[in-house]
Every structure is written in structure tokens, then in C-alpha cells.
Structure 1
Amino acid sequence: MARSSRLIVPNRPHHIYQQGNNRQKIFVDDEDYALFMDWLKEASRQYRVDIHAYSLLESRVHLLVTPADETGMARMMQWIGRHYVPCFNKKYGRSGTLWEGRFRTSLVEEGEWIMRCSWFIEMQPVACGLANRPDDYLWSSYRHHAGIQPSPLIRDHAVYWNLGNTPFAREMAYKGFFGHSDTRENAEMEKMLLKGWPLGSKAFLKQLEASTHRQFRMGKKGRPPKKEK
């Protein structure tokens, strides 16, 4: 069966997810993380993809980005792979692929959903047991958004700028956003992002389904009811 094409809309935010083959580690030490960050910064500049949030974990990568065109994200991820994977393989005496298939991407609705997606990404180190708090983890964008350590990789989305009129106001508002969590909603969001489905309100998903002729919402389990004669 042919793979469905990715849903990519230029100048709109997208979540990117990629994991190691068989969930193996793609980062072993700080040097690996730093090298990947360098390649990501260069590739995002080269292919005109704004990075709004990121989280680099031991076996996977989460990004929130906005591409300038339909091909930029794929070219960026391919470029990183061509540079990072050979270095990783040489360093650890391995060969072959590092990634488990192609990366997945999800279109993200504008507005508060951008902040929800950013929250999801930056809370991953805590959810995975790699840190007790998001500000303890060095390889995510939380420290940038919270005003702890600016990241040259990040180009903040307009939604973040609208959180306040000053850097301090934006940082406080952003940290306050992390104090609220709906476990059920977060689980649903994770399910959709890992499937590569768009992230947003029911109205947003319904509109996308109508315009793309795809289904992005879970149907009811079981056989459809029989029509009465």
C-alpha cells in the first residue's frame, strides 16, 4: 500500500516527530546533542524553516516549526540525516540507518494550539523521566521561553510574542501556562501527534477533512450499524 503524502501548508506551524530505529538511542552524550543542534540550526536557515520549540530526547526528536514552502521541512530533515548519521555511526562503530522510517509531521492550528504543542514538546523530558522539571533539561527550548538561557536556534512564533509586551511578561505568562495540565487532553494530543494527524479543535479538523478528503479523527470501534430496510 502506498504511503499517504504528508499534509504540509507553507507558513503554518507543524509538529515534527522522528525516532531512532527500534527506539534505539540517537543521542548518547552531550557532544551528540550539541552536534545535532548545530546541524539543525544550519539546515533550518538553509531551507527556511523557523524553529519555535524543540526537545531532543535519547531516542527521539520533537520540533515545532513553520516552513516557508512545501519542501523545506523534508529537505531540512534529510540534510540533517546526511550529516549527523555518518558522524554518529563513525563515533560508535555502527553502520546502517539510525532513523525508524520517515519523520512524521502534524499541521498545528493557530492560536492556543501552538502553545499547547510547545508545552507538550518541552514537557517530554519530564514525561520520559529525564528531568524532574522542564527547566532542569538542557536540550529543549523551555529554558529559552522561560528566560533562563536564550537559544540562537529559536525564532519565536507571533503567538508567543503576544503573551506580553515585555520579555519578562512573556516569560512569566509562558511559565504560568505550564502550571495547568489536563491529563486526558494531553494523552489525546500525544496520540494525534505520534500518528502524524493535525492538531487542533474539532472545527479545525472537520474543516481539514472536508478540504483534503482525509479522516483525522478516530471513528467508533466495531462494525457500522446496519441500515434498516
Structure 2
Amino acid sequence: MARLPRLTLAQQLHHVIQRGNNRQPIVVDTADRERLVALWAEHAPRFGVALHAYVLMDNHFHLLVTPSTAEGLPQFMQAVGRSYVRSFNDRHARSGTLWEGRYRATVLQAERYLLPCMVYLDLNPVRAGLVAEARDFAWSSHHHYAGLRSDRFLSPHPLYWALGNTPFAREAAYAERVREGIGAHEQTLLTDAALQGWAAGDERFLAQLQQDTPRRLVKARAGRRPNPPTV
């Protein structure tokens, strides 16, 4: 079966996952981590990509972004990927590929999944057993949104601003959302949506989204022809 084209739409929230080839490390030390984060900070504004949240693990990373154009996200990922692989290979005297093929991404309904996906990213190191709490992990956007650090390259989504009228209120409300966590069903949905390329949202959102692309947005039910969702 032919692989579906990657779903990239302007002005929509996207969850992006990039893994290392054969699950190998994509960062070895602090210098690698700082280099990759610096490339995100450099290229996001260049390609009109609002970077809302991230988590950088040893062998993969997640981004939560909104591109201003359909071309912005793939251009951003290509520029970051090429520059980082050159740097990584030079520093560690290696050659060849670093990434596990193309990055995975899909569109999320922001009103429904922005905050759950941010929490999902923050808790990734906790689920992996690296830290006890999200605040204990330095290489994610959690510190920024919990008021522990200022990452100037991040672009908070309007839905984050709606959490409170003051920075303290927003930070406290967000930290509470992280403490509450997300359920197993929502965690699986967010993972599968990004890895398989299916959009995530309610029927009205998917129906409106389908008007902007001929590409199928949801997995077809077995034995039936796929139809776009109806309002």
C-alpha cells in the first residue's frame, strides 16, 4: 500500500515526532542538546513556524508547532535536520544517516488537544523513568510554562494564555494540568495520530479540515470506503 503523503496544513496545530535511526541516540551530551535546540530557535522564525512546546529525549524528540504556510513545517524540519546531522557527525566522527526516515506529524484540533499534548510531552521523561517529575527534566518546554525558565524562542499558543490573567496564574494552572496528567486512552490517541498521520479532532473539526485537503484525514473502517466526516 502506498504511503500517505504527510499532512501539513497552514495555521493548524501539528504534533511532530522525529526518531533516531534504529532507535539510536540523536544526542550524546549537553553540547548536542544545546545545538539542536539552537537550530529550532534559529529556523522556526525563518520558516514561519510557531514553536509552542518540545521535549528532547535521547533517541527522539517531539515538537508542537503551528506553521504559517503549508511549506513551512517541512522546510523547517529539513533545514534543522540537515544542519544538525552535519554537526553531530563532525563532533562524533561518524557518517551516514541519523534519523529514522522522514519525521512523523499530524494535525490536532487545538481546542481539544493543545494542553493534553503539552502535558503528554512534559511527561515523556517521567514515563521513560528518567525523572520522577516533569520539573526534574531540563530538556523540555515544561520549565518555561511552569515559570522555572524563560525560553524566548517559544511561542505560547493563545489557549495557554487563556489559562489565567497573570503569568503566575497561567503557570500555576498549567503546572496543575501536568500534575493531573492524561489518561492512557488520550496518550495512545496522541501517539498513534502522529505516528500514523491521522488528524485528531471532533467530527466538525475534521469535516472543516477536509475542505482544505484532498488527502484522507482519518483511518477508514474495515470493509468500507473512506468518506470525509460530516458535520
TM-score when normalising by structure 1: 0.89
Q: 2:20 touches 2:26 (CA, 8 Å); kept in 1?
A: yes
The 2-side partners of 1:28 and 1:207 are apart by 43
C-alpha spacing 1:27/1:161, structure 2 compared with 1 (3 Å): same
- Residue correspondence of structure 1 range 14-53 to structure 2 within 5 A: 14-53=14-53
More off after superposition, 188-197 vs 9-18: 188-197
Residue in 1 that maps onto 2:98: 98
TM-fit CA distance, 1:217: 3.7
Task: Please give the per-residue CA displacement for 1:108-144, whole angstroms capped at 9, x wherever unaligned.
Answer: 1021311111111121111122221111111100010
Q: Percent identity?
A: 38
Contact map agreement 2:199 2:217 (CA 8 A) in 1:
no
Contact 1:107–1:198 under 8 Å retained in 2: yes
CA contact (8 A) 1:205 1:217 kept: no
Aligned residue runs from structure 1 range 137-176, under 5 A: 137-176=137-176
Whether 2:132 is the aligned partner of 1:132: answer yes
Deviation at 1:215, TM superposition (A): 4.9
Query: 3-state SS of the aligned residue for 1:116?
Result: helix
1:58 aligns with 2:62: no
- Is the 2:144–2:150 contact (alpha carbons within 8 Å) kept by the matching residues of 1? yes
Q: Which one is further off, 183-192 or 206-215? A: 206-215
Alpha-carbon offset, residue 207 of structure 1: 5.2
Deviation readout 1:137-184 (Å, 9 max, x if unpaired): 111000100111111121100000011100011011111112323122
Structure 1: gaps spanning 5 or more residues: 225-229
Q: Is the 8 A contact 2:198 2:217 kept in 1?
A: no
Q: Distance in 2 between matches of 1:200 and 1:115?
A: 13
Contact 2:122 2:178 in 1 (8 A): no
CA-CA distance at 1:51 after TM superposition: 0.4
How far 1:203 sits from its partner (Å)? Answer: 4.3
Aligned residue for 1:113? 113
* CA distance in structure 2 between the partners assigned to 1:175 and 1:126 by the alignment: 15
- The 2-side partners of 1:49 and 1:213 are apart by 22
Q: Note closer, same or farther for the CA distance 1:87–1:46 as it changes in structure 2 (3 Å cut).
A: same
Q: Report the counterpart of residue 197 of structure 1 in structure 2.
A: 198
Contact map agreement 1:197 1:216 (CA 8 A) in 2:
yes
Q: How many residues align?
A: 222
**In structure 2, distance between residues paired with 1:141 and 1:33:** 13
SS in 1 for 2:179: coil
2:70 aligned counterpart, secondary structure: coil
**Once the 2 structures are TM-superposed, how far is the Cα of residue 209 of structure 1 from its aligned partner?**
5.5
Structure 2 residue 189 is the aligned partner of structure 1 residue 188 = yes
Q: Which residue of 2 aligns with 1:214?
A: 216
CA contact (8 A) 1:209 1:216 kept: no
Q: 2:150, 2:112 → 1: CA distance? A: 22
Q: Which runs of 5+ in 2 are unaligned?
A: 225-231
Task: Give 1:208 shift.
Answer: 4.3
Q: In terms of Rg, which structure is larger?
A: 1
Cα shift readout 1:200-221 (whole Å, capped 9, x = no counterpart): 235434554576461524635x
